[in-house]
Amino acid sequence: MIERHVLGISGGKDSAALAVWMRDKHPNLNIDYFFTDTGEELPEVYEFLGRLEGYLGKPIARLNPRRDFRFWLREYNHFLPSPQTRWCTRKLKLAPFEQWVKPWLAAGDKVFSYVAIRADEEYREGYSAKADNLFVRLPFRDAGVDKLRVVDILESSGVGYPKYYDWRSRSGCTFCFFQQKIEWVRLREQHPEDYEKAKELEKDALEHGSPFTWSKGESLWDMEKPERIAEIKAEYENRRVRQRKAIPINPLRPVRESHEDIDDIYGEDEGGGACAICHK
Amino acid sequence: MAALLGPISKRQFGQNERSTFGFLSSVEAHGFRAYLQSTPLSQATWYRPSDYWDYLRANLESAILASPDGHRWSQAVEAVERAEAKTGDPLMVAMIKNIAVIDMFRSGSGLAADLPVLSALFYKVPQEEIDGALRKLASLKVALFKSYTGAWSVFEGSDFDIDAAIAQALATSPGLDYAKLSQLMGMHPVVAKRHYHETGSMRWMDLSLRSVEQAEKIAQGYEPQRGEFGQFILALPSRGMSAREAHKRAQACARLKPWPVLVGIPSNHARIAELSAELVALEQVKERHELGGDPVARREVFARLAAARSDLEDQLQAAVSLSKWHGGSDEVVAPGAKLSPVASSLADELYLSCPHVWSELVNRDSVSSNSVKARRDLLHAMVNAEGQELLGIEGFAAERGLFDTLLIASDLYRLEGGAWCFCQPSQASGNGFIELWKATRALFEDSNARVGVDEIYKRWSQPPFGLKQGVLPVVLTAFLLAHKANVAVYKDGMFTPRLNDADIDECLQDASRFTLRWIAIDEDKNRILEGISKLLAEVGEKSESSDPLEAARGLVSMVYNLPEWSRRTQRLGETAKAMRDMLLKASDPHKVLFVDLAFLLGAADGKSYVKELRAPLQEIATAYSKMLGQVEAKMLEALDATRDDLESLRERAKSVAGVAGNFRLDAFATRLASYDGLHESLEGILSLAADKPPRDWVDRHIDAALLELAQFARRFREAEAFVAVQGRQARSEAIAVVIGAGAETTTITRSFAISERHRKMVDDKAADLASMLQSQGLGTDVLLAILAKAGMKLATEKESSND
């Protein structure tokens, strides 16, 4: 029986660290890396994937290059996805993965999927296996790798962080509806053209009667008004200062300067239920 | 009087024998004893039925409401309450109560509330006053004199005057609203049943009620609105229009083309108009807010509405069969004919070339979501599995049914020349498909023009084909596959080399994004295409068939499938570069192959074209592996290794891996340790060097990678030296020297041990030498270079003396 090992790369730090870690600790495993491309990724993600591929020395398979976000948007009558109807993850992340491993599973191969859930995270189903011969493995959890170790792994391997971590805490689509308002504001600063595209999508969706806007309760058109931007930034700064004060100091492990994690600041566990598939 | 009432009431709702005695003896409010006790003698008159009313109301109302008399009781209560509300006159209130009680139990007692009885009850009141009170009650619509019993009773209706309201509605309505009327009547479309049975396509004509004027307006420039293919119009002549004139005008406006509009004048039109007016008026009356609080009137309006409606239905039914239908010609459909056969023959005429499709699932305009999925699966199977007998469909899923009904029954997918393939319609496909194909080919008459898929769909939906929306994509895909050698597909104006399932999905979403073009190929072009096909085979691109267009597709898709680097690099010959750019930008195979490329290659005819094409094509195809080869050569040179002896390189790498103390160098060594000289493992190393896989490189990455490789190689060799001295005895001093400059200079590596006893001498001599050199006034760099050169000299001398 053939054994297959797959590891999904989301473009975020955890999955990248897992890939690096697996390469070092289990160099004998022939792991197939994959990245489900939604067609709406930040340019930094592609750049990071290139760096990672460089380190791994193996190409990362890009799944669903043809049916991208816009295809499914048309298929769903121009209704934007939302936490309630989250078709984007289902169609753009899960379905291509299932399709990809389907022939192997059908042939009776054992497929091991490695998911980057860290030891310091609540247990969440990254992906619950639907087939008997698909096994989900959580190596970080088994080896007790936590957030600081992840940072270590990435930095010492020379792969480093994805560049967007300077201003945003998640991988995934440019217009991910799980992102905080501050991230929208920063998206507009970093990639004004992507912000414009998201605006156009939203306008189109509203014209087709979609009940959802990207960010809860306000349209991107409202959000980009200067006074609103100032408000969002001030609110974020307040939270950040408060959160800094609240960090307990561990005398055994001095606090290191690292990227601020926006989800930490909002007290949410990695994107508020956005879950492993998009943002790991 | 009162004594009379006791037994009556007992008989009426004698659910309880005691009620009479209870009435007489108990102390219930308003009972007989209560009356006796509360009424002073001076005011005593009689215990009247009105007092009995109060008694019943106070004590037994709930029991009565539940009895069969409940309905009449509630009407009586309503009447009494209305009277109480409208007049304060105690006489009138007492009077209506009396009437109510007597009237209610009339049939049991035989006593009627006629004038003598009422006068007797109110024996003290003058006759005129009683008359006046009764008249007043009647005008208040509380009491009613029923002439057929000669007695008064409570008014069972209400004070809402329905007739007046209808008259008012009729007066204010601007005329008959026929559209609303048709809607009210729920007139059903006429289905062409025989046509459906014979062709598998359900078609129908609308049946509507109009005025003659409206019929004329509709018939003028009529277009089907909601899936129907024609109209039956029952036209009602307006008042004062003679039957002769009406028929004449109907004859004039009715037509069969482009869409059949048949106009009939019903012989009972006067009655229909009358009933229609009443119906519409009643509908308006029904909505009046006064009725909200008037259940009696509401009930009556509803009853009349139902009556009017059923009357009208009868009349219309009669009208449909009794009308003379005018069809625009002199022929008149005889009265009494059924409409469905008429619709069928009209459909037969209009949809003369309708392809027969026997699928209830998709041969319709709106397809259920399950069928949509089955159809999608079928379409995917069509593009992915042409050539297999059942298109690779296993079992009997829904798409298998569609496959049989749409593709096998129509003979569009059949065994031809020993292989299953999509073909032009045959005789077995039926006239409909043959004509459909002919008409579609005619759309491509101008080979320079592109035809939109939506345009094709439109043509197919119109007469004489009338294909339903649900089957369009299937027939289109069959058409494309049957003619894939000649039809080029463009999406958003861009040439699509090969149709795949994602294209199908996008076409299902929005057909207007796709356009088609018929490519005509002559002798000379054929030669070019064959040549291209051969050339593609030479560079390892498999071409599935010898179809000319297939070869053109192969050329474009070869360029598209090149690694990113080959698509961007400037390190190509001029012709090759120009050709690649042209193919990458190509949106039209016809133009690029026969116009642009021919011009670029300066080829006059097919033969020289192919000859000129060979060199640049090969250059493009092999550019990537050539580039990899160059980089590999440089890397091996820097590592002081050769391709012929990779085994020793792997051995060296194995000893270095894991001890370099540097992640990246370790990764480099690990990769070298399994390096087999194949493209894939080379790509692994190069992608590490440039932080980017080589297929995604741009030219500057080559230099970056070479630089990084040189550094890797130097550190690799340093590490090798380090490994060589590792594990020596602690008692001897190990010294490793690595001398070399740049990646290409020969590097000398020596390691040797100095025993304890030589140590002192080594230290002294080294100090002597250093001070001697320093005294010359030279810089440290120069000194080191001198030492290095000297060391090299010694090492090589020793080597040659050893030999």
Please tell me the least confidently modeled range out of A82-86, B268-272, B497-501, B584-588: B584-588
Contact with chain B for residue A103, Cβ under 8 A: no
Q: How many CB pairs below 8 A link A and B?
A: 48
B693: nearest CB among A54, A67, A71: A54
CA separation, residue B44 to residues B9, B40, B96, B159 (Å)? 24, 6, 20, 36
Give the chain A residue whose CA is nearest to the CA of B671: A57
What is the model's pLDDT at position B536? Answer: 81
Mean pLDDT over B153-178 rounds to 72
- Give the tens place of pLDDT for each residue, B525-574: 778 877 888 888 877 766 555 565 667 777 777 887 888 888 888 888 88
Contacts of B509 in chain A (CB under 8 A): 71, 74-75
Give the chain B residue whose CA is nearest to the CA of A50: B692
- Across the interface, whether the CB atoms of B667 and A53 are under 8 A apart is answered no
Contacts of B690 in chain A (CB under 8 A): 54
More confident site: B481 or B38 = B481
Mean pLDDT over B354-374 rounds to 89
On whether the CB atoms of residues B10 and B17 are closer than 8 A, the answer is yes
What is the model's pLDDT at position B689? Answer: 81
Contacts of A66 in chain B (CB under 8 A): 500, 502
Res. B723: pLDDT tops 80: no
- Give the tens place of pLDDT for each residue, B647-696: 888 888 887 776 666 777 777 887 888 788 888 788 878 877 877 777 77
Cβ neighbours, 10 Å, residue A229: 17
What is the model's pLDDT at position A142? Answer: 87
Residues lower than pLDDT 70 in chain A? 64-65, 122-129, 247-260, 267-280
Residue A169 CA to residue B344 CA, distance in Å, equals 67
Contact with chain B for residue A55, Cβ under 8 A: yes
The residue written with tokens 């320079």 in the block is B448
Residue B661 CA to residue B723 CA, distance in Å, equals 12
- Give the tens place of pLDDT for each residue, B632-644: 888 888 888 888 8
- Give the tens place of pLDDT for each residue, B456-475: 999 999 888 989 999 999 99
Contact with chain B for residue A267, Cβ under 8 A: no
On whether the CB atoms of residues A129 and A135 are closer than 8 A, the answer is yes
Residue B50 CA to residue B121 CA, distance in Å, equals 10
Instruction: Return the beta strands (E) in B204-281 as ranges.
Output: 204-211, 230-236, 261-265
- Across the interface, whether the CB atoms of B696 and A51 are under 8 A apart is answered no
Res. B14: pLDDT tops 50: no
Res. B783: pLDDT tops 90: no
Give the chain A residue whose CA is nearest to the CA of B672: A57
- Give the tens place of pLDDT for each residue, B105-145: 776 667 777 878 778 777 777 888 888 888 887 777 777 77
Averaged confidence pLDDT in chain B: 79
Please tell me the least confidently modeled range out of A18-22, B5-9, B35-39, B481-485: B5-9
Q: Please name the residues in contact with A226: beta carbons below 8 A apart, sequence gap of 6 or more.
A: none
pTM for the model stands at: 0.64
Q: Which helix (H) or strand (E) holds B667?
A: helix B663-673
What is the model's pLDDT at position B374? Answer: 92
More confident site: A278 or B596 = B596
What is the model's pLDDT at position B612? Answer: 84
Q: Which of B18, B19, B17, B24 is nearest to B2 (CA)?
A: B24
Distance from CA of B684 to the nearest CA of A (A): 4
Contact with chain B for residue A158, Cβ under 8 A: yes
On whether the CB atoms of residues B735 and B752 are closer than 8 A, the answer is yes
Confidence of residue B800 (pLDDT cuts 50, 70, 90): low
More confident site: B118 or B390 = B390
What is the model's pLDDT at position B729? Answer: 46
What is the model's pLDDT at position B7? Answer: 47
Instruction: Return the beta strands (E) in B479-588 as ranges.
Output: 487-491, 494-495, 514-518
Q: Please name the residues in contact with A78: beta carbons below 8 A apart, sequence gap of 6 or more.
A: A204, A205, A207, A208, A210
What is the model's pLDDT at position B474? Answer: 92
**Phi–psi pair at B520, nearest 5 degrees:** -95, 130
User: Which residue out of B377, B491, B494, B505 would a mutagenesis test of the A interface target, given it has the greatest number of A Cβ atoms within 10 Å?
Assistant: B505
Res. B510: pLDDT tops 80: yes
More confident site: A169 or B359 = B359
User: Which residue out of A49, A53, A155 would a mutagenesis test of the B interface target, given it has the greatest number of B Cβ atoms within 10 Å?
Assistant: A53
Residue B770 CA to residue B767 CA, distance in Å, equals 5
B663: nearest CB among A51, A59, A158: A158
Mean pLDDT highest for which of B180-184, B259-263, B697-701? B259-263
Residue B274 CA to residue B281 CA, distance in Å, equals 11
Confidence of residue B12 (pLDDT cuts 50, 70, 90): very low
Contact with chain B for residue A30, Cβ under 8 A: no
Contacts of A157 in chain B (CB under 8 A): 663-664
Q: How does DSSP assign B685-741, residue by residue? A: HHHHHHTS-GGG--HHHHHHHHHHHHHHHHHHHHHHHHHHHTT--SSSEEEEEEE--
What is the model's pLDDT at position B803? Answer: 46
What is the model's pLDDT at position A255? Answer: 54
* Residue B378, both tokens: 């079928």
Q: Please name the residues in contact with B206: beta carbons below 8 A apart, sequence gap of 6 or more.
A: B189, B190, B226, B228, B230, B231, B232
Q: Please name the residues in contact with B634: beta carbons below 8 A apart, sequence gap of 6 or more.
A: B706, B709
Contact with chain A for residue B670, Cβ under 8 A: yes
Percent of chain B residues past pLDDT 70, beyond the cut: 83
